[in-house]
Amino acid sequence: MEWIYEPWPWYVSGAMIALVLFLLLMVGKNFGMSSNLRTMCTICGAGNKADFFKFDWKSQRWNLVVVVGAIIGGFIAHEFLTIDATVALNPKTVENLHTLGFENAGATYMPNELFGLSVFSDVKNLLLLVIGGFLVGFGARYAGGCTSGHAISGMSNLQLPSLIAVVGFFVGGLLMIHVLFPLLF
């Protein structure tokens, strides 16, 4: 059981995601995480401002329970299943990140510059988190799904729209990392 404390290899991780997809289908639901953001907006009363949020959010209660599970899962994995949370990145990636100013690249699970508490006194990086989050929320709903809904669920169902969306995810991601990162960091 020692392996469970190590980072999981890609084939175990991929198989586990497929298991999640399978289990959700077998309990009569579909795998898609970003629709929870819409549900949460509705619960907060967004239905008063836009019809898009006028729906019976209780029909999506099951997915909110999955979210609670994902939070608990993160806690369990971090507290009990991980001894060393470093990430074995390609040395080339580490070097690139050093150049951009990320000092602990790979030595921590997340960059301190963005996800350490110090970010709350760093206006620029805090703003980048806000912009990143905004684009994720806006883009996911515009595209009608995110990595789980399109890249896994939709593509598994051989949906052309999902393929278009996933190509879009990559165009956006490549643009951000290769064109915008050198300007932002």
Q: How far is the CB of 5 from other proteins (least distance, A)?
A: 9
The amino acid at 5:
Y
CB of 175 to other proteins, least distance (A): 6
CA distance 86 to 119: 20
CA distance 115 to 69: 22
Query: Which is closer to other proteins, CB of 57 or CB of 141?
Result: 141
For 118-140, b where at least 16 C-beta lie within 10 A, e where not — what string? Answer: ebeeeeebeebeeeeeeeeeeeb
Q: How far apart are CA 166 and CA 143, in angstroms?
A: 10
User: 160 is written with which tokens?
Assistant: 């052309």
Kindly give the interhelix angle for 160-174 and 123-143, rounded to the nearest 10 degrees. Answer: 160
User: How far apart, in whole angstroms, are the C-alpha atoms of residue 100 and residue 14?
Assistant: 30
Q: Which is nearer to other proteins, 1 or 68 (CB)?
A: 68
Q: How far is the CB of 113 from other proteins (least distance, A)?
A: 10
How near is the Cβ of 185 to other proteins at its closest, in Å? Answer: 10
Q: Rounded to the nearest whole angstrom, what is the least distance from the CB of residue 181 to other proteins in the complex?
A: 8
